[in-house]
Amino acid sequence: MLGTAPSPGLLQLVDEAAGHPRLIVSLLTGLREENALRTVDGQAHPVGRVLPRRVTAQVAATLETFSPDCRQLLRTAAVLGRELDYEVLAPLLGTTPSGLVRLLDEAVATGALDHSGARTVFRGALLHQVIAESVPASLKRALRREADQVRRLRAREEPAAAGGQLNDRQHAVVQLVGQGLTNQQIARRLDVSPHTVNYHLRKLYGNYGVRSRIGLLRAVQDGVRANAG
C-alpha cells in the first residue's frame, strides 16, 4: 500500500489495530492522504500520534451496524477502560450482569471485543481509543463520576472483615494471595475483574491496618489464632 518498507514505529501503530483488515487499510490510507508519513532511509515513519479522520469515520460507520444498546455498551465501557468491569457497567446501563450477556455476545461476534476466560477487553488499543474519543469530554467526566459512585455504593454494601472474620469472597482472595497469585491471576480464578480484586485488597488492608500482602497474611493468621484461643 505504501510502496516502501514500514518503520518499527509504523508497525507498532498497525499492531494496535489488532488484525482488523479494514481498520488497517483505513489507517494506512488515511496516513497517506493526510501526509502523516515521511520516508527516512527507505522506511515509512508516522508523523505524530493523531489518528487519521478516515479511521474515525470507519469506526463510526461500523458502530452504526450494531444495535443501539450494543453501541451504548461499547462507548460507555471504552470511557472506563480497555477491560470491561461488568459489576460497574451493569448499573450504569440500567441492567444486571446477566442482562449484559446478549450485548457482549453481539460485540464479541462483530470483533469489537475479545473474551477469554474471565476477561473481556477491547480488541486492540486503536479501536478502544477511537471509540473512547467519540464520547464528548463532558460526558466522559459524568460517566466516570457515576462509575465512582457505583463503586462506592458497592463498598458500603459489602460486609467488612472485622476481628479476623472474613466473608466468603475475602477469604478466597486471601487464600489466593497466600498462593502467590497476582491480581490478574486471582481475578481469573474468581471470575471477576482485576478492579474488584484491587477493591477487596484495599478494603482488607484498611481493615487490618496493613500496607502489603505479607502484612495482610500475617494479620489474618494472627486473627485466626486469636479466635482459636
Distance CA 87, CA 138 (A): 23
Cβ within 8 Å of residue 45, ≥6 positions away: 7, 9, 10, 37, 38, 39
Question: Residue 211 carries which side chain, given as an amino acid letter?
Answer: R
At residue 133, the pLDDT reads 93
The domain made up of 158-228 has a fold known as Arc Repressor Mutant, subunit A (1.10.10)
Better-scored residue on pLDDT, 44 or 99:
44
**Taking 80 as the threshold, does the pLDDT of residue 118 lie above it?**
no
Establish whether domains 67-154 and 158-228 are of one fold: yes
**Taking 90 as the threshold, does the pLDDT of residue 153 lie above it?**
no
Distance CA 160, CA 207 (A): 8
**Taking 80 as the threshold, does the pLDDT of residue 26 lie above it?**
yes
Percent of the chain with pLDDT over 90: 53
Is this model's pTM higher than 0.75 or not? no
> Residues 198-218: pLDDT tens digits?
878 888 888 888 889 998 998
Domain ranges of the chain: 5-59, 67-154, 158-228
At residue 86, the pLDDT reads 86
Distance CA 43, CA 6 (A): 5
Where does the pLDDT of residue 161 fall: very low under 50, low under 70, confident under 90, or very high at 90 and above?
Answer: very low
Distance CA 171, CA 49 (A): 45
Contact in structure between 32 and 53 (CB atoms under 8 Å): no
> Residues 81-91: pLDDT tens digits?
999 988 889 88
> Residues 30-71: pLDDT tens digits?
999 999 999 999 999 999 878 999 999 999 999 999 999 999
Q: What is the CATH architecture of 67-154?
A: Orthogonal Bundle (1.10)
Nearest to 76 by CA among 50, 52, 112: 112
Where does the pLDDT of residue 158 fall: very low under 50, low under 70, confident under 90, or very high at 90 and above?
Answer: low
**Taking 60 as the threshold, does the pLDDT of residue 164 lie above it?**
no
At residue 136, the pLDDT reads 95
At residue 38, the pLDDT reads 94
Strand positions, DSSP E, the chain: 5-6, 37-40, 43-46, 113-116, 119-122
List the end-to-end C-alpha distance of the chain, in Å, as a whole number. 74
Percent of the chain with pLDDT over 70: 91
